[in-house]
Structure 1
Amino acid sequence: MSPIKEFSISYEALNKQDIFTNGDTISGQLTLTLSKETKVKSLVVKITGEGSVRWAHGVGDDRRIYRDHKRYIKVKEYLIKEDSKDNVLPEGVHHLQFNIQIPQEDLPSSFKGNHGKIVYTLQAKLSRKWHMASTVEKELNFAPKSLLQSEEVSGAQAGSVSKDVRVFSKGEVQMSATIDRKACSPGETVSIGARINNSSSKEVKAKFSLEQRTVYHARAIRKVVELSLCKMDGDTIGPNSEGTASCQLMIPEDIVHTLHNCEMISVTYTIKVYVDISFSIDPEVLFPVVVVPSCFLAR
């Protein structure tokens, strides 16, 4: 019977979102309860980060599996070092403190999708001679500092578009649109405004949406997944008239962060402001946005 009655790991969260970034130090504790005196070969705490993609394409003889894998980090700290003699721990409860630092490298964000994932793990491993190693682990949420590069995420955005309407109607539709930011967090509300000059003989309506584009790469092959995460309608603008439309677009709470620095997976977001014109291609203005942890914006 194993003398190990409890083996657990815990750590201190650095923010309400429980998110770590490059250069952060993870401070925590291992709890080891032994029913008798025990010889231990080594006890190590480590952080690992790994990414993988996998998807299938085709059927029958034409079916192909595309996959790739990469290890991003592996950092170790020995609490009990391995040596020529066994270390002996007495019976009872043992609390061992640790501090282990995430490298300063620009690592990709944590991610889980239908065709790939990037996972960071805090793990402890207890080794004994002639026994299977005992392990415990916790998954970490990670986002890199590079998500907040000032030249990409500061300030508001504006854009305009115009289109001739020629099917079952005539005239021109012009729209100028603005959003109040370039970076946002899950659960936040983005303010959007549009001014429409409808010189056509049709009614038109302003619409707003948040679009997600995920691209998986396996060597030279890629798979693209595009989703419209949320949509809202604005006011209707009558023929030969002007009007404004506004929208408070809420970023979903369960949205994944932007993923911009990984060769296997990328996740980007766009807020689309467009004019819905029946029987015509809708004129649109696209605003790229970066989705980051709220604790990043509070810094």
Structure 2
Amino acid sequence: MSPFKDLKLALEVLNQEGTYSEGDTVIGTLSFSLKSDTKVKSISVKAKGDANVHWTEGIGEDEETYSAHERYFKIKEYLVAKSPGGTVLPQGAHNINFTLKIPQGEMPSSFKGENGKIVYMVEAKISRSWRWPSSVTTEIKFVSKSFPSIHQAMHPLTGSVDKELGTFSKGQLQMTASVNRGVCFPGETLSAYARICNSSSKNVKPKFSLHRKIVYRVKKHTKTSDKVIFKMVGDPITPRSEVTVPCAVKIPVDAVYTLHNCQIISVEYYLKVYLDVSFAFDPEVVFPLLVVPSNLVHAQLNEEVGHI
């Protein structure tokens, strides 16, 4: 039975979101109590970041398993250093403070998905001779400072498509679509619209769908999940008419951030604006979107206002 009671790790909160990023210092306390004097070999604390993917395909003899791992950093400090004869800790309560500095460098944000995860954690371990070590871990929420092309994505995105109908109907469809920004944050609402000129003989229905695409990679093998996380269907547009359809695109509050700087997991978002045409290929316009922390969007907006 372990003599270490109430073994806990407590970390100081650096910001309102409780997140950590590259270059931050993790400040914490390891606490425990001892009913009697106890000899230890060492007490250490470490922080590390790892990405893992895993999935299987096929069944029986044809089953294949794919897995991959990436390590971003591992740092370790001794709170009680190793010594030849060990160190005796006195009976009573113990609170040991520590600091661990996360390295600089581009690292991906925390992520958990069906076939992979990116996890950052702090672990403390108490080692004794001829005994199993006592340990405690706590996970930290890591948010990368590296997101691509936020400045360029702050501007409106516009695209157009034309389609000539034939076989089952005649005429032409024209659509111009736009979204107010190519970058957003979880919980935000973007403004989009589609201007449709229906010069055909058919009813068409405008649709807006927000997709989250996750790709897991193991060498040349990939496993992809493409999920619609928001959808809006407009009213049918009658033949020989021109209509502008607005759409408030709601980004889910729990949307994970765009993930572009991990070799084995990526997360992308795109908004698809299209016309549902029966018995024909749907004309569509697709906009890539970046989902990033709200403070990055607000900082960029403030910077642009300051330049006006």
Give the TM-score of the pair, scaled to structure 2.
0.91
Looking at structure 2, the residues matched to 283 and 82 of structure 1 have their Cα atoms a distance apart, in angstroms, of 68
CA contact (8 A) 1:148 1:296 kept: no
1:88-127 mapped onto 2 (5 Å cutoff): 88-127=88-127
Q: Is the 8 A contact 2:47 2:75 kept in 1?
A: yes
Give the alignment of 1:286-297 within 5 angstroms: 286-297=286-297
Deviations 1:105-152 (CA, angstroms, capped at 9, x unpaired): 211222222211111111111112222111111112222111254355
CA offsets per residue over residues 52-101 of structure 1, 9 Å max, x none? Answer: 21111122222211122222211112222223342232222222222212
Q: How far apart are 1:295 and its partner, in Å?
A: 3.7
**2:306 corresponding residue in structure 1:** none
The share of aligned pairs that are identical, in percent, is 47
What corresponds to 2:273 in structure 1?
273
Q: Tell me, yes or no, if structure 1 residue 285 matches structure 2 residue 277.
A: no
2:76 is the alignment partner of 1:76: yes
Distance verdict in 2 for CA 1:258–1:160, change over 3 Å = same
Q: Do structure 1's residue 191 and structure 2's residue 201 form an aligned pair?
A: no
Deviates more, 1:281-290 or 1:149-158: 149-158
- Contact (CA 8 Å) 1:17, 1:293: kept in 2 or not? no
Asked if the contact 1:157–1:181 (Cα under 8 Å) also holds between the matched residues in 2, the reply is: yes
- SS of residue matched to 1:147: coil
Q: Which moved more, 1:13-22 or 1:157-166?
A: 13-22
Aligned pair count reads 299
Q: Which residue does the alignment assign to 1:156?
A: 156
Question: Partner of 2:302 in structure 1?
Answer: none
Quote the offset at 1:215 in angstroms: 1.3
Counterpart residue type for residue 105 of structure 1: G
Q: Which moved more, 1:81-90 or 1:54-63?
A: 81-90
Q: Is the 8 A contact 1:110 1:119 kept in 2?
A: yes
> In the alignment, which residue of structure 1 is the partner of 2:42?
42
- Report SS of the residue matched to 1:297: helix
**1-structure distance, mates of 2:13, 2:241:** 55
Q: How does 1:163-182 map to 2 (within 5 A)?
A: 163-182=163-182
Separation (CA, whole Å) in 2 of partners of 1:149 and 1:39: 55
| More displaced stretch, 110-119 vs 8-17 | 8-17
Distance 1:152 1:141, change over 3 A: farther
SS at 1:267's partner residue? strand
Deviation at 1:20, TM superposition (A): 1.7
Q: Which residue of 2 aligns with 1:216?
A: 216
Amino acid at match of 2:131: H
The CA distance in 1 between the partners of 2:129 and 2:151, in whole Å, is 55
CA distance in 1, matches of 2:264, 2:134: 32
- Which residue in 1 is equivalent to 2:245? 245
Which position in structure 2 is the counterpart of 1:131?
Answer: 131
Is it true that 1:14 corresponds to 2:40 in the alignment? no
* Offset of residue 222 of structure 1: 1.4
Q: Which amino acid aligns with 1:191?
A: S
- Determine the C-alpha separation between the residues in 2 that align with 1:87 and 1:295: 47
Q: How far apart in 1 are the matches of 2:235 and 2:13?
A: 44
Distance 1:234 1:36 in 2: 72
Instruction: Please state how far the C-alpha of 1:162 moved relative to its aligned partner.
Output: 1.2
Question: How far apart in 1 are the matches of 2:290 and 2:31?
Answer: 39
- TM-score, scaled relative to structure 1: 0.93
Measure the CA separation in 2 of the matches of 1:201 and 1:180: 32
Q: Which position in structure 1 is the counterpart of 2:201?
A: 201
State the AA in 2 paired with 1:233: V
RMSD of the alignment, in Å? 1.8
C-alpha separation in 1, matches of 2:234 and 2:13: 41
Structure 1: 5+ residue stretches without partners: none
Distance 1:149 1:30 in 2: 40
Give the drift of 1:253.
Answer: 2.2
User: Which 5+ residue runs of structure 2 have no aligned equivalent?
Assistant: 300-308
Aligned AA (1:109)? S
* AA in 1 matched with 2:87: N
Q: Take 1:45 and 1:174, find their aligned partners in 2: how far apart are those partners? A: 62
Aligned to 2:261: 261
Q: Tell whether the 8 Å contact from 2:2 to 2:134 is kept in structure 1 after alignment.
A: no
What letter matches 2:263 in structure 1?
Answer: E
Amino acid at match of 2:41: K
Q: Distance in 1 between matches of 2:81 and 2:255?
A: 41
Q: Matched residues in 1 for 2:296 and 2:4: separation?
A: 40
